[in-house]
Amino acid sequence: MTTSHYIAGRWVEGQGSDCIRVNDPALGQPFAELMAASIAQVDQAVTAARAALPAWKATSASERAAYLRGFAEQLDQRREALITLQMRNSGKPRHEAEIDLDDAIATFSYYAELAEQLPSKNREVPLAAAGFSARTRLEPVGVVGLIVPWNFPLVTSAWKLAPALAAGCTVVLKPSEITPLIEQAYGHIADSLGLPAGVLNIVNGKAETGAALSNHNGLDKLSFTGSNSVGSQVMRSASVQCRPVTLELGGKSAIVVFDDCDVDQAVEWIVAGITWNAGQMCSATSRLLVQDGIADALLPRLQAALENLRVGNPLTEEVAMGPLTSQAQWLKVAGYFATAREEGLQCLVGGRALDRDGWFVSPTLYAEVPKSSRLWSEEIFGPVLCARRFATEEQAIAEANDSRFGLVATVCSADLARAERVADALEVGHVWINSVQAVFVETSWGGTKGSGIGRELGPWGLSAYQSVKHVTRCLG
């Protein structure tokens, strides 16, 4: 698997110094390896994207839409192989891997439709002043660097790649070194479709590769999804060039359960919000705010649900939750378990790594967690839920908003007027009411505060890759 970089329409061997080992997290063992791209190869990829830009942005919206539909169709044709790879490299249960693939397909199909609906390049703008005419043009922002994370490979890259191509941008995609294989499908599909060379480039590598891309002066925009620590470095590099950046970063999201909620239904929403992808989600609702009147009934049932959750190897068992995706993440979560013991937190279930091969931890619930606890305020990125009680609606809103993050939240209540009112008061980018975390391509994705800058998905995702130009002419 040495020819794992797609540059200027060709598969090439990595020339970097890093060897990337690709692991099966359910076994804790590598099953593939590849050489990282060199800094020179990153430059070659950006140069190829720059060379391809004039012709690609000159293509019609309908031509670009046809390519995007081709991506959707060919992802579906590769369905079983991609699902299996997600299960093996990411540790996702089959039903999660299937949803990931369907999300990627839906994203390409949606932006194909949006591309066809793009207004003509010139649109007249009415002016109050006489003697002048004005028109506006929507143009591609240019060459874009896309850096995507390991927790939702294929999906996050689709969220960036599809609108960028629809807008007429050319791209350099850098997957995570933890899950570098599945994004190669995009290169193979580009070959099959005859996508012009240089429109899509893929370079794999670790931090050095990501830094080489984010620092490259040949980019017109950078879109990054990942941790806040790396996101701040990406933002600094963008500031040197004064170029636009989209950042989708961390979260420490709240799920608010009012006492008029059906207990069993609430348990289902809570469990899904903290155990999907083994809690490795920036949107994980890891802070449970439960109203006094329902807490004594809800917490024992939630404890039982987490105790009975089936955890195991998705390739050999039918499971509800797989392993953590990397050893580094497993060690990080184990460190939080140790911190919880040091802080004397009340653990109702879990709080430990599982004694088996691979990087498994138990679904975990801590009760009455003080706001001073690190586990209440810091993003853990694992199936670790911290609960606190509240008395009033005002208290729930205040505690939910008391965070440096602002990505998502969930509100559970039979009183829909109250649920809508609370949703409006929460300082986040996306709120679910009485639902699991269903994400639709037509809606927006992104957060406030420390959770990032900009929005993905929906028409906002397309506009993130467009530049607005006005032309004003004197009629005299």
Q: What secondary structure does DSSP assign to 274-318, as a single string? A: HHGGGG--TT---EEEEEHHHHHHHHHHHHHHHHT--BS-TTTS-
Same domain, 232 and 258: no
CB 14 within 8 A of CB 163: no
Which pLDDT score is estimated for 429?
A: 98
Residue 160 lies in a domain: yes
**Structure tokens that stand for 210 in this block:** 């990501």
* Residue 261: domain span: 254-440
Q: How far is CA 476 from the centre of its chain?
A: 52
pLDDT, one tens digit per residue, over 294-305 is 999 999 999 999
**What is the chain's alpha carbon radius of gyration, rounded to the nearest angstrom?**
23
User: Tell me, what CATH number does 13's domain have?
Assistant: 3.40.605.10
Residue 445 lies in a domain: no
Chunked in runs of 10, what are the mean pLDDT values of the chain (476 residues)?
85 94 96 96 98 97 96 98 97 98 98 89 87 93 98 97 98 97 97 98 96 96 96 92 95 98 97 98 98 98 98 96 98 98 98 96 98 98 98 98 98 98 98 97 97 97 96 92
Which pLDDT score is estimated for 208?
A: 95
Please name the residues in contact with 184: beta carbons below 8 A apart, sequence gap of 6 or more. 4, 6, 202
Q: How far is CA 28 from the centre of its chain?
A: 24
Same domain, 388 and 285: yes
Which pLDDT score is estimated for 75?
A: 98
Same domain, 225 and 299: no
Which pLDDT score is estimated for 1?
A: 52
Domain count, the chain: 2
The single residue listed with the structure tokens 């990087």 is 359
Instruction: Give, in degrees to the nearest 5, the angle at Cα 244 between 156 and 222.
Output: 35
Same domain, 315 and 427: yes
pTM: 0.96
CB 274 within 8 A of CB 252: no
Residue 27 lies in a domain: yes
Cα gap 161→166, rounded to integer Å? 8
Same domain, 18 and 76: yes
pLDDT, one tens digit per residue, over 394-439 is 999 999 999 999 999 999 999 999 999 999 999 999 999 999 999 9
- Collapsing DSSP to helix, strand or coil, 372 comes out as coil
Residue 446 lies in a domain: no
Please name the residues in contact with 307: beta carbons below 8 A apart, sequence gap of 6 or more. 349, 363
CB 384 within 8 A of CB 374: no
Same domain, 460 and 318: no
Report the half-sphere exposure of 235 (CA within 13 A, side-chain side): 16
Helix, strand, coil distribution of the chain in percent, nearest 5: 40, 20, 35
Instruction: Give, in degrees to the nearest 5, the angle at Cα 148 between 195 and 281.
Output: 135
Same domain, 368 and 354: yes
Residue 171 lies in a domain: yes
Same domain, 457 and 345: no
Residue 25 lies in a domain: yes
Residue 235 lies in a domain: yes
User: Tell me, what CATH number does 410's domain have?
Assistant: 3.40.309.10
Same domain, 237 and 349: no
Same domain, 187 and 60: yes
Same domain, 217 and 307: no
Which pLDDT score is estimated for 119?
A: 74
Q: Which residues pair with 23 in a beta bridge?
A: 30
Q: Which residues of 240-260 are buried (b: 16+ CB within 10 A; e: fewer)?
A: ebebbbbbbbbbbbbbbbbee
Same domain, 210 and 326: no
Which pLDDT score is estimated for 2?
A: 54
Catalytic residue positions, numbered: 248, 282
Per-residue 3-state assignment (H helix, E strand, C coil) for 90-107: HCCCHHHHHHHHHHHHHH
Residue 88 lies in a domain: yes
